[in-house]
């Protein structure tokens, strides 16, 4: 276990600070922090922070109330009930373990409460400490009736006679209780060995077999490492442990009813593996109601030990899918967020993963190293597509007078609107419990898909704007345009290049389900016409920070067409690289742009060659959110594509509801006016192109970019062009003209 004040951390922090060229310790807050959450009882006489350790759960939901195993000064570990009306944790007087050297993992299985209490021996890489013999870990089992917990006859039972850094329990489909822990042996002369141990009980936990080493090929992690157990998929037991010696988080699983001690019963694989991928922080959860049997685990990496890059993952969500037998991973927070000690809770009603983590208080923007105590933060993501937002998340537990909150804990159970969500942490400097109790939203219903398309008929190439009108609050959209084209934007535009009858289909989805709707688009053969025409458009965006900007060529693009690309990037990035053959038209137009606010607009044009790629890639100098798109034009003079200089305008007041660009003067009859809008806004805003112009696309997220055009039949002044917005924003706009061929 890495301790925030250890000399090794401080030495490492100095190195990283010097490498990164930043201050070692963040400046103290200028004033008291805002208070989040609720303070509870104080404690004394317990050796370890009473809400630790990381894999363990101290809370459970039963009979309409939240309960917790909390330390009571002078008597020991006791069962408490949360009285929500008075915001008070009430001691029920039921005491389990009186030893101040213990920590516990709790589990309510619907009929009994189980508390596994073990004596704690903490080992670190720098200071391995052997597990102590003659220090039994006990399993307590309680029955519940009439609002009271009663210890069952024959309990507690003994799980093991050795101390350990952590211990967790779960129950398999036969009613047997499983426990896992790591056990350190050896001395400074012969060296130390850490071993993953497991034990299983008779149904109900009434008696235990002899503890055994997990029968896999490598059950010996570093002295710093820990393990956790989980029941999943209705008849499986899984054990996960960190292994900093190999840079791995390992996963071993078995089917109920097979021999516990036979190596052939256990499937063994890495959940994640690589340099810096493992640390001794993990928390694992499952839902027996999940039809796919998934297992969710929050783990901490050690990437902050080997790199000063603040964008590397610090906390990861690993999801095991029994159907594929493999893990997926997504980033909860990065090393730059200075986070530690993750916990997760599964929201069954809204299909969300709630991730909790320790980080410095809200008044502190940086820190010297990860693991700094301060406040507890929450982030959420879909269980089906777990993409977490950037930053530390939403503060949920924070004191105004003490920046020492740490070791968040919660429940093994899933939560919903009937339970709300309760998490607990401890301030081990002030010696006080804190907790957060918040409601969860009502049940989500599946959306009813519907949309409009305009136009639904016309000559090729036919540019159609699709507008989502679905009800029921969809969270994702999947479009099939009938010609092989697809989109996940809420309101996409699509160009049909060839004649035919196409069925356009929208599938709208949220956590409760999905539905589909379709319509027919009829495209007639292209008619011969002079002048410039639009071939098609595409748009995309990055809703999380990214430096790569990849935009596909519009469908139907051919050699000799001229492409116009517009990109709006958050904050103040430089354009580090541009695809070959693209020429800047607007080269970084700033909208109140700085390292902390605003946006930049980039516009380029390109004459398509005979062997152009299917997609074009730009690279931003820093990773930021962005939105962009490309429209293709046919009939443009490929030698001199521009028929006018570019005109630009910026309003950085954040109060603009419209913006007007100066007029341009065209030199050739039939020129195509082109123009666009860049907005410092990460979500779409209703906007209208200038009067008489055709809007080709609008980015659906990231940072908003749009493009529109209008034929200028006669050479001369085109006049100003005014974009209107549905809300007050900071914006920039531009216009120019393309020169017809011939």
> How much is the average pLDDT of 29-57?
90
pLDDT of 450-489, one tens digit each?
999 988 988 877 889 999 999 888 999 999 999 999 999 9
- Indicate if the pLDDT at residue 19 is higher than 80: no
* HSE toward the beta carbon, residue 415, CA cutoff 13 A: 26
- What separation in angstroms does the CA of 153 have from each of 105, 141, 169, 210, 341? 20, 9, 20, 22, 36
pLDDT of residue 371: 67
- Indicate if the pLDDT at residue 30 is higher than 70: no
Nearest to 555 by CA among 487, 473, 471: 487
For the purposes of burial, counting CB atoms within 10 Å of the CB of 488, is it exposed (0-12), middle (13-18) or buried (19 or more)?
A: exposed
pTM exceeds 0.85, yes or no: no
pLDDT confidence of 526, banded at 50, 70, 90?
Answer: low
Cα dihedral 550→556→560→566 (10° resolution)? -40
Nearest to 102 by CA among 125, 124, 118: 118
Percent of residues, the chain, with pLDDT higher than 70: 94
Residues 6+ apart with CB under 8 A from 304: 16, 312, 314, 335, 369, 370
Cα 623 from Cα 376, distance rounded (Å): 26
pLDDT of 379-434, one tens digit each?
999 999 999 999 999 999 999 888 899 999 999 999 999 999 999 999 999 999 99
Q: What average pLDDT does the structure give for the chain?
A: 91
- Indicate if the pLDDT at residue 537 is higher than 70: yes
- Indicate if the pLDDT at residue 23 is higher than 50: no
Q: Which residue has the tokens 């899933």?
A: 414
- What separation in angstroms does the CA of 654 have from each of 343, 469, 668? 38, 29, 37
């Amino acid at each position: 276990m890495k301790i925030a004040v250890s000399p090794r951390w401080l030495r490492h922090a100095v190195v990283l600070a010097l490498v990164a060229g930043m201050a070692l310790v963040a400046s103290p807050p200028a004033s008291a922090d805002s208070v989040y959450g609720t303070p509870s009882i104080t404690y004394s006489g317990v050796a370890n922070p009473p809400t630790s350790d990381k894999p363990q759960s101290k809370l459970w939901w039963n009979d309409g109330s939240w309960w917790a195993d909390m330390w009571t000064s002078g008597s020991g570990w006791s069962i408490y009930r949360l009285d929500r009306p008075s915001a008070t944790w009430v001691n029920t007087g039921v005491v389990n373990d009186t030893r101040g050297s213990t920590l516990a993992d709790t589990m309510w299985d619907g009929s009994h409460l189980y508390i596994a209490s073990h004596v704690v021996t903490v080992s670190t890489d720098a200071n391995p400490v052997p597990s102590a013999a003659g220090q039994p870990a006990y399993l307590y089992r309680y029955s519940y009736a009439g609002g009271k917990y009663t210890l069952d006859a024959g309990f507690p039972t003994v799980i093991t006679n050795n101390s350990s850094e952590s211990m967790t329990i779960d129950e398999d489909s036969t009613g047997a209780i499983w426990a896992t822990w790591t056990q350190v042996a050896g001395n400074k002369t012969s060296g130390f060995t850490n071993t993953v141990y497991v034990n299983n009980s008779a149904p109900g936990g009434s008696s235990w077999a002899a503890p055994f080493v997990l029968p896999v090929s490598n059950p010996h992690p570093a002295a710093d490492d820990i393990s956790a157990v989980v029941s999943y998929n209705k008849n499986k037991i899984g054990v996960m442990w960190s292994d900093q010696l190999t840079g791995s988080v390992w996963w071993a699983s078995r089917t109920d009813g097979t021999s516990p001690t036979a190596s052939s019963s256990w499937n063994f694989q890495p959940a994640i593996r690589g340099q810096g991928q493992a640390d001794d922080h993990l928390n694992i959860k499952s839902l027996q109601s999940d039809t796919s049997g998934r297992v969710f685990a929050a783990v901490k990496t050690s990437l902050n030990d080997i790199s000063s890059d603040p964008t590397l993952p610090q906390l990861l969500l690993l999801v095991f899918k029994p159907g594929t037998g493999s893990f997926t991973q997504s980033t909860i927070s990065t090393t730059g967020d200075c986070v530690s000690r993750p916990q997760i809770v599964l929201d069954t009603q809204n299909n969300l993963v709630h991730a909790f983590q320790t980080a410095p208080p809200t008044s502190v923007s940086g820190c010297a190293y990860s693991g700094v105590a301060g406040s507890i933060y929450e982030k959420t993501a879909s269980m089906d597509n777990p993409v977490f937002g950037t930053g530390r998340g939403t503060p949920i537990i924070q004191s105004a007078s003490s920046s020492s909150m740490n070791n968040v804990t919660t429940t093994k159970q899933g939560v919903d609107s009937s339970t709300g969500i309760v998490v607990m942490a401890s301030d081990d400097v002030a010696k006080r419990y804190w907790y957060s109790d918040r409601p969860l939203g009502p049940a989500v219903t599946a959306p009813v898909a519907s949309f409009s398309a305009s136009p639904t008929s016309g000559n090729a190439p036919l540019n159609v704007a699709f507008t989502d009108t679905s009800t029921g609050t969809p969270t994702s959209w999947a479009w099939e345009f009938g010609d092989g084209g697809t989109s996940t934007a809420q309101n996409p535009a699509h160009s049909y290049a060839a004649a035919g009858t196409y069925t356009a289909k929208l599938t709208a989805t949220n956590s409760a389900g999905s539905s589909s709707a379709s319509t027919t688009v009829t495209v007639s053969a292209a008619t011969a016409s002079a002048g410039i025409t639009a071939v098609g458009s595409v748009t995309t965006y990055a809703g999380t920070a990214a430096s790569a900007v990849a935009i596909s060529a519009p469908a139907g693009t051919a050699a000799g067409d001229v492409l116009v690309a517009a990109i709006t990037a958050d904050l103040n990035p430089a354009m580090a690289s541009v695809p070959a053959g693209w020429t800047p038209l607007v080269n970084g137009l700033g909208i109140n742009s700085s390292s902390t606010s605003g946006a930049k607009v980039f516009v380029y044009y390109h004459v398509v060659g005979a062997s152009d790629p299917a997609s074009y890639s730009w690279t931003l100098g820093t990773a930021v959110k962005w939105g962009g798109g490309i429209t293709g034009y046919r009939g443009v003079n490929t030698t001199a594509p521009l028929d006018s200089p570019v005109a630009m305008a910026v309003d950085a007041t954040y109060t603009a509801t419209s913006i007007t660009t100066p007029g341009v003067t065209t030199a050739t009859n039939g020129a195509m006016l082109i123009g666009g809008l860049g907005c410092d806004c990460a979500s779409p805003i209703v906007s209208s192109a200038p009067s008489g112009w055709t809007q080709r696309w609008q980015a659906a997220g990231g940072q908003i970019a749009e493009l529109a055009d209008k034929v200028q039949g006669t050479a001369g002044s085109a006049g100003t062009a005014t974009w209107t917005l549905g809300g007050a924003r900071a914006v920039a706009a531009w216009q120019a003209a393309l020169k017809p061929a011939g």
